[in-house]
Amino acid sequence: MGLFDDLSRFLENRLEEFLRSNPHLELEALLEQLREQEEDTLKLVADLKLQEKRSQEDILSTAQEIQRWHIRVQKAKDAGRQDLATPAQEREAALLREGNQRWGQMQGLKERITQSQELLRKIQQRRQEVQAKAAEAQTVRAQAQAQQRLETNGWSNQTSSYSSGFDDLEDKFRRWETQDELEQMKRNMGK
């Protein structure tokens, strides 16, 4: 496993270096990561809301059972059937405990939904910020490329417009340098 860990670390380091040298790609990677987090959080919120709905249905069902057993307890007491009233009261108490437990679970689900929605809001806000930075970086890159093209075109335009002037100047220098070399040779021969 050490070889795979080393290879994994090496690849992660290379990726980080590449992203640092290409910041616009780093922003794109961050945007993709935020999109995935947003999608996962939306799924989580939907799942939690479904659990909350089921929990509410269970609580309602338990409440109906409690009501049914409460009526039975009263009926048994009114009829003087303590042998039925006592176990019915125990059943009602057990259902009340179960209802309270389910209520607590539902409150926990509601809290998790609230936290997940807050997380979703923060992710969406962060994504908007990163999108703005990516758009800004794209604009800066486009301006830099446009400036580079202007400079490159400027150089090529200058070269073409002065090429005839440079050719004349080149000829003048060649004649002067040739003349200078000839005179240097004459002096050296005369010695």
Task: Kindly give the confidence (pLDDT) of every residue in the chain, 191 residues in length, as a single tens digit, with 9 standing for 90 and above.
Answer: 566 677 678 777 876 776 666 666 777 878 888 899 999 999 999 999 999 999 999 999 999 999 999 999 999 999 999 999 999 999 999 999 999 999 999 999 999 999 999 999 999 998 898 888 888 878 887 888 788 887 776 555 555 555 555 678 888 888 888 888 778 877 777 65
First to last CA, the chain: 83
The confidence score (pLDDT) of residue 187 equals 78
Cα 93 to Cα 76: distance, rounded to the nearest angstrom: 16
The confidence score (pLDDT) of residue 41 equals 93
pTM of the predicted model, to two decimals? 0.60
The confidence score (pLDDT) of residue 131 equals 86
Q: Are 129 and 27 in contact (CB under 8 A)?
A: no
Residue ranges with strand state E in the chain: none
Sequence-separated (6 or more) residues with CB below 8 Å from residue 42: 120
The confidence score (pLDDT) of residue 156 equals 57
Q: State which H helix or E strand residue 191 sits in.
A: none
The confidence score (pLDDT) of residue 133 equals 84
Q: Which two tokens stand for residue 164?
A: 């005839």
- Dihedral pair phi/psi, residue 81, rounded to 5°: -100, 75
